[in-house]
Homo-oligomer: A and B are copies of this chain.
Amino acid sequence: MDSEIIYLDHAAATPMDTRVITAMQPYFSDNFYNPSSPYAPAVKVRCDYEDTKHKIASLIGAKPGEIIMTAGATESINLAFSGIAGHVVVPNIEHHAVLNCAKLHNHTLVNADKRGFVSADSVKSAITAETQLVSVALANNELGTVQPIRDIAQVVKSERESRLVSGNKTPIYLHCDASQGVGQLDINVARLGIDMLTLNSGKIYGPKQVGLLWAASHVKLQPLIIGGGQERGLRSGTENVAGTVGFAKALELALEHRKFEADRLLELRDSLQKKLTDAFPSAIVSGHSKHRLAGHLHMSFPGLDGERLIFILENRGVMLATGSACAANKGTRSHVLTAIGLSDEQADGSIRITLGHLSTTENINKAGEIIIEELAKEYQRVNR
C-alpha cells in the first residue's frame, strides 16, 4: 500500500476537528455536572448548554426553543415523522431513514429525474388534500444533487394557503434532511422556508451520535423517548452537553468557511472529474451538472466492478465508496442508482468520491493518477 491514505469518502464520515475536541474537553471531567442539578457549577453547565442551543439556533436562523438535540440524523428524521397521521410525500432517492419512516404511512414516492433532481412540480403533483408531510433531503448523499428546497417550500406554502381558503384544516409541513451539504449550502431555515430541519454533527467534523431536529413552533411532534421530560418533553434523557458544544463548534466552523470551502472543493472536484472523463470517455458522471455539492463526484465505469475497484484502490491508499455507506455493507444495489435509471451494469461499475477537509490539491492530483492507472489496468483485464 502507498504509505499515505487519501480519504475520498467525506460523505460517509468526517474526522473530528481538533477545535471541536478542544471545545468539548472541559465538559468531560471538569464541568461534568448534570444540567438538572441545583448547585451553581451544575447551573453553569445548564447555562452553557442553553447558550450553545441559542448559538446553534442563531446559526440556522431559528429560535432556540425550537431546537431538539438528538443522537443523530436518523433519530431526528424519525422525530420529524412522529406527529404525522396522514399522507406523506418523499422522493424515491431519499436516505433509508426517510424511506422507512414514510413506509409506515400512506405515502407517495416522487420520482427524481435521471440527474437525481426532484422538481417542485413533481412534488406538487404528489400532494393530496390529506398530505401532512413533505420530506426532501437538501442534497442527495450518493449523487450530491442539490434539491430546489425553496421552490418546494413555495409549493407547500401555496398548498397551505389554498387549504386555508377551502377550510381544509389538515396541516402540511416541509421537512428537510440537511445531513449532506452543511458547510457548502445555505441552511438558514427562514430563507429555505421549511418547517423542520435535520442536521447531523458527524458529517461536519463534529462528534458522532449528535444531531438535531429544528421544528418550527407550529409543528406538532410526539416524543420517541419519554422520561424526565428534557428538550420540552420531546426527547427525555440527561442532556448531551459535551456533544452539543462540539456540534455547535463544528457548525460554526462549517458556516464560517462555507463559501471558501465550497469554491475550493469545486475546483478540486472539477479538475478530478475532467481528468477521469478525459481518460475514460465512456464513463458516466451522475448527479446534476450544475446543482451538485461541490465535493461530490459519482462516476460509473460500465463493464467494471465497483466493489472490486474499492479494494484495488484501497490497496493504493485511496478510500472511496460504492453507493452510500449505509447500503454498502449489505451487498445490495443502491436504490438511488436504480431510481435514476442507471442500468445494472452502470450501477455495479460505479464509485462515489466525496471531497472534504482532508482533500488537498496534492492528494487529489495523486488520487486522480492512481485511479486512472488502476482503472486502466482493470479495463485491460476485463477486455482481454
Contacts and interface: CB of A to CB of B under 8 A. Distances in A.
A77 interface: yes
A73 interface: yes
A95 B326 contact: no
Nearest to A11: B34
Contacts of A18: 29
A267 to B, nearest CB: 25
Given A322-B38, A329-B36, A78 B238 contact: no
Given A9-B37, A321-B38, A325-B34, A71 B74 contact: no
B13 A74 contact: no
A224 B78 contact: yes
Contacts of A322: 38
Contact of A241 (B208, B226, B236, B319): B208
The copy count of this chain in the complex is 2
A237 B13 CA distance: 12
A85 interface: no
Contact of A15 (B29, B73, B101, B227): B29
A16 interface: yes
A75 interface: yes
Contacts of A30: 15
B15 A208 contact: no
Interface residues of A, number: 67
A13 B238 contact: yes
Given A72-B237, A238-B13, A227 B77 contact: yes
Interface string A200-244: 001000011110000000000000111111000000111011110
A12 B29 contact: no
Given A310-B39, A319-B41, A224 B227 contact: no
A41 B330 CA distance: 18
A74 B225 contact: yes
Contacts of A96: 227-229, 236
A260 interface: no
Nearest to A103: B226
Contacts of A202: 238
Contacts of A32: 13-16, 208
Contacts of A77: 227
A21 interface: yes
Given A101-B226, A319-B39, A237 B328 contact: no
Given A13-B37, A37-B319, A95-B227, 4 more contacts: A39-B319, A74-B238, A97-B226, A207-B242
User: Which 3 interchain pairs have the tightest Cβ spacing?
Assistant: A97-B227, A74-B237, A209-B240
